[in-house]
Amino acid sequence: MTTEDWGLIEFSEAWRRQREIADAILVSASDDVLVTCQHPPVITRGRRTRDDAMLTSDALLHQRGITIVDVDRGGEATAHNPGQLVCYPVVNLEHFRPDLHWYLRALEDAVIVTLADLGLASGRVDGKTGVWIDGSRKICAIGIHCRKWVTTHGLALNVSNDLTIFDNIIPCGITDSAVTSLSQELRRGVDVHEVQETLLTHLQRFLLESR
């Protein structure tokens, strides 16, 4: 398993690269790859996004410099912008455990342990994918696509990003919870790179321990 840091990259380009890696894994058993990156302001709409999830018109979003991309992952609408740590594991689950429920929980576990290392307690909410603070504030969104057990997309952990971008949508279709970030919860500045290596370490551990 290898890691790649793509830095600040347009979402559509990152999605294209993910598909290239996934295709290579499918045809030639190439290495699994854990990608980390950040995106310029973008709202992505998963397969289950409802029309009423968009609180701002597409035209106005474009005027504000926010790109909109419809994607093939599960889930509904979410947002990305600089200061948010995005991780795309492009992996063949047959190398680990071919079980999507287990895989989603592994992503959550890696985030929960990472946040604990930084002094922030977090956990799950029954019936909702992602990671939460006090069961009421979402700090990490998760949405994946899987083809022949090869995954794309992944998780987005709010570190120090501007959370007002989420005012344009109903994040993940959830109306009764707030969105938060590491900087907001810890009440200090947190750099994405302060979190990145810890998250990758825990994610690799949870995946490899399943073998």
**Residues with catalytic roles:** 172
Exposure string (b/e) for 31-50, b if CB count within 10 Å is 16 or more?
ebbbbbbbbebbbbbbeebe
With H, G, I as helix, E, B as strand and everything else as coil, classify residue 123: strand
Q: Where does residue 17 fall: left (phi above 0), alpha (psi -120 to 50 degrees), or beta otherwise?
A: alpha
**Pairing of β 33-38 and β 77-80:** unpaired
Strand partners, 37: 86
Say if residue 119 is exposed, middle or buried (CB neighbours under 10 Å; 0-12, 13-18, 19+). Answer: exposed
Say if residue 148 is exposed, middle or buried (CB neighbours under 10 Å; 0-12, 13-18, 19+). Answer: exposed
Which residues, 6 or more positions from 197, have their beta carbon under 8 angstroms from its beta carbon?
Answer: none
Phi, psi at 129, each rounded to 5°: -80, 145
The residue assigned the tokens 């609180």 is: 55
